[in-house]
Amino acid sequence: REGDGGATGPDHVLERVAEHEAKDTSRDDAMGLQLLSAKQQIDRLQGRIQELEEHGSRMEEDLRVRGARLTEVERQLKAREDAAGRGAQESSAALQNAKGSIDA
C-alpha cells in the first residue's frame, strides 16, 4: 500500500491493531483519571456540605439559646419595672397620707 510505506501482511496488521489498542487504552486511562478526579471532588463537596449542615445546626442551637436568654432578661426587666412602678405608687400614696396628716 502507498500510505504506509508499502508495509503489508500480517505483521503490519498486528502493528496497526496494537497502535489502536494503545490509543484506546490511553483514552480509557485518561477517562478513568477524569472519573476518579470527579469522584474525589464529589466526596470533598459532600464532606463540605456535611460540615456546613453541622455548622448550621450549631448556629440554630446557639440562636435558640440566645433567644431563651433574651426572653428571660426581658421578663426580669419587666418584673423590675413593675416593682419600681409599684414602689413609686406606694411612695406617692405614703407621701399623700403624710401630707394629709400634717394638714389635719
Task: Provide the pLDDT for residue 69.
Answer: 97
Prediction pTM value: 0.49
Tell me the per-residue pLDDT of 42-86, one tens digit each, with 9 for 90 and over.
999 999 999 999 999 999 999 999 999 999 999 999 999 988 888
Q: Comparing 94 with 62, which gets the higher pLDDT?
A: 62
> Contacts from 45-50 at CB under 8 Å and sequence distance 24+?
none
Task: Provide the pLDDT for residue 1.
Answer: 43
- The CA–CA distances, whole Å, from 37 to 28, 41, 73, 82 equal 14, 6, 53, 67
What average pLDDT does the segment 2-29 reach? 75
Answer whether residue 34 shows pLDDT above 90. Answer: yes
